[in-house]
Homo-oligomer: A and B are copies of this chain.
Amino acid sequence: MKKGVMRPGHVQIRVLDLDEAVKHYADLMGLIEMDRDDQGRVYLKGWTEVDKFSVVLREADEAGMDFMAFKVADEATLDSLAQDLRDYGLELTELPAGDLKDCGRRIQFTAPTGHHFELFATKEQTGKWGVSNRNPEAWPRDAKGMKATRFDHCLLYGDDIDGVLDIFTNVLGFQLVEQVVEPDGNKIAIFMACSMKEHDIAFIRQPMKDKFHHASFFLESWEDVLKAGDLLSMTDTPIDIGPTRHGLTHGTTIYFFDPSGNRCEVFSGGDYTYPDHPVITWDAEQLGKAIFYHDRELNERFLTVVT
């Protein structure tokens, strides 16, 4: 949080059928539907999140990610980061408060990989869902399905990940936590954090622009990862891989697809980091193990992305 960027704040995901998507994200994954807006977008969040929402579903003709946003410490920080981004040479779009319901103004820029990122400082705080701020119980009894606790990070595919790394670390104060490098030093994957988490945002180099690999949600335990896998079978939801462990971050994970083909991850555990931690490096020849620690090879689906 060197420059005041706190955490992933929200992601807007395009879905082909809103009702099916809500069934997936709310009934199956356990996100809480918090609101809808007059554009028909649906706002959801994990039960541990204090802000009103972290996932926005928008019905569209094509799946994928519209944008991902980070919440910053306060409005002054937002102004100063906006200036830093402008000074860096990026063109910014300011979206007014209310453009996303109950969210303050957002500063949007396009990363060198073509992805749209936002910063914002203000969003209505509705508190954790189902537990109080006063003498809080351990968890809400009414959570559904996988009981995803929070929107955690995104993994994106794109070409100029060096450009992205430069902006996130040098302008936004992120830390490069883990990387996959080729023998010549070329980075093919970068995991970056603005917190103790091993990744708040990650990129894999692919010769494409603005591709969405997955949005990831945190679970409380490896047992919850198992039950998530069980629920995928019970609901005939397409699975990608897992339960397994990642080499990168060492989190335990399962990948699957929403009805529109967007990949979702639920995961648990994983390493932590601090600003003085050395970068963890994986050799490109060990990419299989870096991604899927047990199988030690990529499945054929791993390179599949949605627009």
Could you tell me which A residues sit within 8 Å of B by CB distance? 1-2, 6-7, 48, 50, 71, 73, 125, 127, 133-139, 141, 195-197, 220-223, 226, 229-234, 239, 242-245, 247, 250, 252, 254, 269, 271-272, 274-283, 286, 289-290, 293-296
Contact = CB atoms under 8 A, between A and B. Distances in A.
A233 B293 contact: yes
A221 B222 contact: yes
Given A136-B280, A221-B223, 6 more contacts: A7-B274, A125-B276, A222-B223, A222-B226, A233-B289, A254-B294
A113 B276 CA distance: 30
Nearest to A254: B294
Nearest to A73: B275
A137 B1 contact: no
A33 to B, nearest CB: 19
A287 to B, nearest CB: 10
B293 A138 contact: yes
Nearest to A240: B295
A77 to B, nearest CB: 11
A276 B141 CA distance: 25
Contacts of A196: 195-197
A27 to B, nearest CB: 10
A233 B286 CA distance: 12
A290 B132 CA distance: 13
A278 B279 CA distance: 33
A288 to B, nearest CB: 10
Given A229-B294, A230-B139, A294-B243, A133 B276 contact: no
Contacts of A226: 222, 245, 252
Contacts of A125: 276, 278
B243 A244 contact: yes
30 contacts: A1-B2, A48-B271, A50-B277, A125-B276, A125-B278, A127-B278, A133-B278, A133-B280, A133-B281, A135-B247, A135-B281, A135-B283, A135-B286, A135-B290, A136-B250, A137-B230, A137-B233, A138-B230, A138-B233, A138-B293, A220-B269, A221-B223, A221-B269, A222-B222, A226-B245, A229-B294, A233-B289, A233-B293, A239-B294, A243-B243
